[in-house]
Amino acid sequence: MGLVEAEAVVKHFPITKGFLRRRVGEVKAVDGVNLSIKEGATLALVGESGSGKTTLARVILRLLPATSGRVSFDGREITTLDDGALRAVRQKMQIVFQNPASSLNPRRRINEIIEEPLLIHRVGTPGERRRRVGELLERVELPSQDFMFRYPHSLSGGQRQRVAIARALALDPRFIVLDEPTSALDVSVQAKIITLLRRLQRDMGLTYLVISHDLSLVRNVADVIAVMYLGRVVETAAVAALFGDPKHPYTRALLSAIPTVSDEESALIPEKITLGGEIPSPASVPSGCAFHPRCYARIEGCDRVTPELVRVGPDHHASCILYDPAHGAPGLHGGGSSGMD
C-alpha cells in the first residue's frame, strides 16, 4: 500500500453555454486514473500539455473535488473528509508550482512568505516561527541573513523556487507535489534545484509526485514514471524499464524526441518518430484508444476498442490493443514486436 493511492479518479469539467449556463458537454481532464506512490519514492507524471497532469494532482491534494473515484493518504480516504479533518491532512501534503514568479506574493518579504503556512495552521510562538524560517532557508541553501527580509522581485528564478520549496516544507509535510518545478528555469539552474530536491527527499524521507512534460528531466528524479495522454495513464513502469523497454507507441514517440538517449536505447526506437498533429481537446476525446488518430502503429480496431492498462512486464503496465489479450494480443512479453517495429 502506497502512502498516496488514487483509485479510478475521474475529473470532468462541465462546459456550459449561455446565460442559463446550460451544460453542453464536458472536458474529460482526468478519466479513470489509478496511481500508487510508495513512501519515500518519487512518481513522475509525464505527458504533453493538456493531458490532465495538474488536474490530477489537484484532485489528489483535494484542492479540487473529484467527479468520482477515491484518493487515500497514509491509508485514510481523503476524498470524503470534512473540512476539519482535511485541515490536518493538508499540513502533510504540499504543492510547489511551476512559476515561482507568480506563486510568491510580491508584497511580502521572504520571511513572511515562508512563515505564512505556520500562521495559518497556528504553529509555534513568534520566536519559534522566526527560528523555523531561518532553518528552512538554510535547508534550501539560501543564507537566512541575506534573504530573510528581501522581496521576491530581488531574487533570481532559482532562488524564488527555493523559497517556494522552503514554504512547502514549513509544516513538515510527508508528501509534496512538484508541478513542473523547473520548467521556468535555465538548464543549469534546473540541475541545482533537482539536486536540492533529491537531497531534501533523502534527508526528510519525503514522498514526491513530480509533474513534467519532459521525460529526460524526470529520468534523474523519478523511481516510477506514469505517462498520461488525454486524461489516462497509458504506460507506467520503473524508470529503467520505461526507458529501456518502452511499450506504448506514445511513450516510444516521447522517448524518440529526446536527443540524449543512449545508442542501446535508440536501437529500440529504430527511427525518429514524429507525432502528427496536436493532442486533441479533452472536450472531444477520440473514440476507442484516444491516441489512435496520431498513432503510427495503429491497426484495425484501435478506433473502436478502448484498451485496458494491462501487465506487460514486472511492475510494468501499458494500455494498447497490441498487448491486450482480450483483443487477441499474444499476451505477456510476447507483444513487444507485434507490428510496432
Q: Binding residues for ligand ADP, per CB under 6 A?
A: 13, 27, 29, 47, 49-55, 282
* 243/215 Cα distance (integer angstroms): 9
Let me know: does 98 contact 54? Beta carbons within 8 Å. Answer: no
Cell 478506433: give the residue: 303
- Cβ at position 250, least distance to ligand ADP in Å: 14
* Binding flag, residue 51, Mg ion (CB under 5 A): no
Closer Cβ to Mg ion, 42 or 54, answer by number: 54
Cell output for 331: 499476451
Q: By rule CB under 5 A, what string of x and - marks binding of each residue 91-110 to Mg ion?
A: --------------------
- Cβ at position 291, least distance to ligand ADP in Å: 15
* Binding flag, residue 72, Mg ion (CB under 5 A): no
Let me know: does 229 contact 32? Beta carbons within 8 Å. Answer: no
Where does this chain touch Mg ion (CB under 5 A) — which range of 13-21, 51-59, 242-250, 252-260?
Answer: 51-59
Chain residue at closest Cβ approach to Mg ion? 54
126-139 vs 110-120: helix crossing angle, rounded to 10: 120
Closer Cβ to ligand ADP, 111 or 161, answer by number: 161
Closer Cβ to Mg ion, 45 or 206, answer by number: 45
Contacts 24+ apart (CB under 8 A), 291-299: 291/229, 291/230, 291/234, 291/248, 291/249, 291/250, 295/249, 295/250, 296/249, 296/253, 297/249, 297/322, 297/339, 297/340, 299/339
How many CA atoms within 13 Å lie on the side-chain side of 67? 17
Residue 297: contacted member of ligand ADP, Mg ion, none (CB under 5 to 8 Å, by partner type): none
Say how many residues touch Mg ion, by CB under 5 A. Answer: 1
- Cβ at position 226, least distance to ligand ADP in Å: 12
- Cβ at position 35, least distance to Mg ion in Å: 16
* 339/248 Cα distance (integer angstroms): 12
Closer Cβ to Mg ion, 54 or 236, answer by number: 54
* Binding flag, residue 236, Mg ion (CB under 5 A): no
What is the number of other CB atoms lying within 10 angstroms of the CB of residue 84? Answer: 7
- Cβ at position 184, least distance to Mg ion in Å: 12
Residue 51: contacted member of Mg ion, ligand ADP, none (CB under 5 to 8 Å, by partner type): ligand ADP
Which of 54, 182, 207, 251 binds Mg ion (CB under 5 A)? It is: 54
Q: Assign 211 to helix, strand or coil.
A: strand
Q: Assign 106 to helix, strand or coil.
A: coil
Closer Cβ to ligand ADP, 14 or 143, answer by number: 14
- Cβ at position 157, least distance to ligand ADP in Å: 20
Residue spans of alpha helices (H) in the chain = 53-60, 83-91, 100-103, 110-120, 126-139, 144-147, 157-169, 187-204, 215-218, 239-244, 249-256, 263-268
Residue 27: contacted member of ligand ADP, Mg ion, none (CB under 5 to 8 Å, by partner type): ligand ADP
The site for Mg ion (CB under 5 A) is made up of: 54
